[in-house]
Amino acid sequence: MIKKQKSIDSPQKPHILVCNDDGIEGEGIHALAAAMKKIGRVTVVAPAEPHSGMSHAMTLGTPLRIKKFLKNGHFFGHTVSGTPVDCIKVALSHILQSKPDLIVSGINYGSNTAINTIYSGTVAAALEGAIQGITSLAFSLTTYEHADFTYAGKFARKLAKKVLLEGLPTDTILSVNIPNVPESEIAGIVITEQGFSRWEEDAIERHDMFGNPYYWLNGTMRLLDDNMRKDEFAVRHNYVTVTPISCDLTNHRYISSLEQWNLQK
Amino acid sequence: MIKKQKSIDSPQKPHILVCNDDGIEGEGIHALAAAMKKIGRVTVVAPAEPHSGMSHAMTLGTPLRIKKFLKNGHFFGHTVSGTPVDCIKVALSHILQSKPDLIVSGINYGSNTAINTIYSGTVAAALEGAIQGITSLAFSLTTYEHADFTYAGKFARKLAKKVLLEGLPTDTILSVNIPNVPESEIAGIVITEQGFSRWEEDAIERHDMFGNPYYWLNGTMRLLDDNMRKDEFAVRHNYVTVTPISCDLTNHRYISSLEQWNLQK
């Protein structure tokens, strides 16, 4: 089930598709594209607008548009008028000439640990890559402001090189969370599991000018993990976390218990 | 990790929250609510509009509205102006007085087997229930037209009763797919794994009246499974499939391999 990718020592540089969920104007995708350009040919395809929290949503009810996006007057990449998953689907079917060697998603503003793995559009874009048979990585930085992508970009490059050599199981991506600190303060790199930490207080009620109520989703992440094997705990202790995430959601351990329910009767 | 729910033999009937992703006007949610009313107190909270393919998306950038929905002049349930996951979050924080004993999602038009497990808003609503600590089930019927919910409703009721007695692991839901055939043609009930079947041809290009291209996501499900242990294969052979789906996406089997990459160096 391990698929080896093109070696980065081969004459032709690997082709790397870069996506995100913060939208093409997000600072993180520019840091990630710059990091990848040092090791491969890069194509950027990203949402025209921010799509945080969109998970694996895809656009079925409206058509999608592709546009070119310029940065400082030069072509930087393509935008798609949809979700991160739409971007991967449209990139593979209509923008790229052939399958890329690697898909990288991010660098996201805000960690995608624990339950955020499920809500994240950044992770979903990488998972869509895996579904399409392409080695894929997701990168997130643990802050929403004063982001310093220097070390994150450096680590993304290092991991991308490694993964191009080693490959990954076909149903699995690596979701990487990076503390927003200088490299000297990084405590280390750990392989982690998706933690149990959850959001609390899910919606707040306000009233409009007519007195009618409306609701904003809101909340704070409650830390429910207590060891370095869990992504949220480790990243809070300044470790870079690397979590293997699968698109097979089956709880295999529970199948034999369910079979004893004898639902046939 | 197994949490027992209130027995259905207790004096107070279990409280069941019913949601879907096809929207409150979808026929399937009315069949599911009717089935659940025979065993419990039912509250319906569903999207105001259809939200197929929205996966675990939540609405962060706009406020949500709650409205009452009447059926034949009588109160049927609440609508939320957002996604299936929004419905669960808003129901738990602002509509229900206390946590329900069970969440059921569906009955969806179209199967949610194989990779559709990830794209599905029906499954996501149930997973959001599990995240919030509530026993949850998702139901899908294998057709988009000429739906006959008779047997599906009957089986949903049977499984809901069973699950209220047995409980489920805290991170796990059951995703159920039901063939759209009369009960006499149901081949049986099998416990399955999420299959490998995938969509092919992901977007088609068309042109608007100005000659500009636009893209619709599209495709056909390619059967990549060949045995009754896989949901898509089994449901195509007229079996009801019951798949335990987890919100822990970690590929645990791959962690030891990753640790040998020695990323610290």
pLDDT at B152: 97
Evaluate whether residue B61 is within a structural domain: yes
Among candidate residues A168, A156, A177, A151, the one with its CA nearest the CA of residue A234: A177
Among candidate residues B106, B234, B101, B229, the one with its CA nearest the CA of residue B175: B106
Structure tokens at A97: 């000439």
pLDDT at B145: 84
The CA distances from residue B232 to A15, A181, B176, B179, B229, in Å, are 33, 46, 11, 11, 9
Q: Counting beta carbons within 10 angstroms of the beta carbon of residue A69, is it exposed (0 to 12), middle (13 to 18) or buried (19 or more)?
A: middle
Chain A contact set for B86 (CB, 8 A): 217
What string of H, E and C letters represents the secondary structure of A17-28? EEECCCCCCCHH
A102 and A163 Cβ atoms separated by less than 8 Å:
yes
At residue A86 the predicted structure's pLDDT band, cuts being 50, 70 and 90, is very high
Evaluate whether residue B151 is within a structural domain: yes
A45 and A68 Cβ atoms separated by less than 8 Å:
no
Q: 10 Å Cβ neighbour count for A4? A: 10
Evaluate whether residue B212 is within a structural domain: no
Structural domain of B93: 2-194+226-259
At residue A2 the predicted structure's pLDDT band, cuts being 50, 70 and 90, is low
Provide the pairing of β-strand B172-178 with B136-141: parallel
- Chain B contact for A50, CB < 8 A? yes
Asked if the bond preceding B8 is cis, omega within 30° of 0, the reply is no
Q: Which of B248, B252, B253, B262 to mutate to test the interface with A (most CBs of A within 10 A)?
A: B248
d(Cα B163, Cα B134) in Å, to the nearest integer? Answer: 11
Q: Do A198 and B258 touch (CB under 8 A)?
A: no
Across the range A95-110, mean pLDDT stands at 96
Across the range A184-211, mean pLDDT stands at 91
Least confident range of A178-182, A241-245, B200-204: B200-204
Q: 10 Å Cβ neighbour count for A102? A: 26
At residue A3 the predicted structure's pLDDT band, cuts being 50, 70 and 90, is low
Question: How many independent structural domains does chain B possess?
Answer: 1
d(Cα A152, Cα B174) in Å, to the nearest integer? Answer: 38
CB within 8 Å of A265: residues ≥ 6 apart:
none
Q: Do A214 and B65 touch (CB under 8 A)?
A: yes
pLDDT in tens, chain B (265 residues): 455 555 555 558 999 999 999 999 999 999 999 999 999 999 999 999 998 889 999 998 889 999 999 999 999 999 999 999 999 999 999 999 999 999 999 999 999 999 999 999 999 999 999 999 999 999 999 988 889 999 999 999 999 999 999 999 999 999 999 999 999 999 999 999 999 998 887 788 999 999 999 999 888 888 999 999 999 999 999 999 999 999 999 999 999 999 999 898 6
Evaluate whether residue A164 is within a structural domain: yes
Chain B contact set for A176 (CB, 8 A): none
How close is the nearest chain B Cα to the Cα of A80, in Å?
10
B177 and B142 Cβ atoms separated by less than 8 Å:
yes
CB within 8 Å of A167: residues ≥ 6 apart:
A2, A3, A4, A5, A135
pLDDT at B61: 84
At residue A5 the predicted structure's pLDDT band, cuts being 50, 70 and 90, is low
At residue A6 the predicted structure's pLDDT band, cuts being 50, 70 and 90, is low
Asked if the bond preceding B107 is cis, omega within 30° of 0, the reply is yes
Give residue for tokens 């009957």: B154
Q: Mean pLDDT across chain A, nearest whole number?
A: 93
Evaluate whether residue B208 is within a structural domain: no
Evaluate whether residue B186 is within a structural domain: yes
What sign results for the dihedral spanned by CA atoms B102, B119, B251, A254?
Answer: positive
Evaluate whether residue B210 is within a structural domain: no
Strand partners, A190: A241
pLDDT at A200: 83
The beta-carbon neighbor of B55 closest among A55, A246, A254 is A55
pTM: 0.93
Selected residues 126-185 of chain A with any CB under 8 Å from a CB in chain B = 127, 131, 158-159, 162, 166, 169, 171-172, 174
pLDDT at B2: 52
Give residue for tokens 């992504």: A231
Evaluate whether residue B200 is within a structural domain: no
Q: Do B64 and A215 touch (CB under 8 A)?
A: yes
Q: How many CA atoms lie within 13 A of B252 on its CB side?
A: 10
Q: What's B89's domain CATH number?
A: 3.40.1210.10
- Chain A contact for B72, CB < 8 A? no
What is the interface pTM, i.e. ipTM, of the complex?
0.92
Q: 10 Å Cβ neighbour count for B27? A: 13
Provide the pairing of β-strand A41-47 with B203-207: unpaired
Q: Do B248 and A201 touch (CB under 8 A)?
A: no
Provide the pairing of β-strand B198-200 with A213-217: unpaired
How close is the nearest chain A Cα to the Cα of B53, in Å?
6
Instruction: Return the amino acid letter for A202.
Output: D
